[in-house]
Amino acid sequence: DAGVIQSPRHEVTEMGQEVTLRCKPISGHDYLFWYRQTMMRGLELLIYFNNNVPIDDSGMPEDRFSAKMPNASFSTLKIQPSEPRDSAVYFCASNHGGDSPLHFGNGTRLTVT
């Protein structure tokens, strides 16, 4: 079991640039979640998918954020254009529903200057 894999681990970009974060969930997990962690707001649920379909994106901050899951083994979170206030650690997590816990990736630390 390779776990949830996120890339890149660190991303530093300038304001206005497009940022794409990537996630590979655990094989067989049919739920995928994107979270953002900051000191001020803690862990925020941005969006989650079930069987590749977005179920709830009410946590996505604004139109600059978009997420896709083209297949069961890959998801992206895109920020365009990026702003300094987007600086945070972005976690991807997956589970197979029911009583199963969330399995988290190691996160992507995004810094927007």
Partner 1 sequence: AQKITQTQPGMFVQEKEAVTLDCTYDTSDQSYGLFWYKQPSSGEMIFLIYQGSYDEQNATEGRYSLNFQKARKSANLVISASQLGDSAMYFCAMRNTGNQFYFGTGTSLTVIP
What HEC string does 43-73 produce? EEEEEEEECCEEEECCCCCCCCEEEEEEECC
Please give the structure tokens belonging to residue 83.
Answer: 């702003």
Based on CB atoms, which residue is closest to partner 1, 65 or 91? 91
Q: How far is the CB of 81 from partner 1 (least distance, A)?
A: 26
CA distance 92 to 90: 7
- Report which residue type is found at 18: E
Q: Closest CB to partner 1 among 77 and 93?
A: 93
Q: Which is nearer to partner 1, 47 or 79 (CB)?
A: 47
Q: How many residues in total does the chain contain?
A: 113
Q: How far is the CB of 58 from partner 1 (least distance, A)?
A: 10
Supply the minimum distance, in Å, between the C-beta of residue 80 and partner 1.
Answer: 25
Binding residues for partner 1, per CB under 8 A? 31, 33, 35, 42-43, 45, 48, 50, 55-56, 89, 91, 93, 95, 97, 99, 101-104, 106-107, 109
Give the count of beta carbons closer than 10 Å to the beta carbon of residue 66: 14
Cβ-based nearer residue to partner 1, 12 or 55: 55
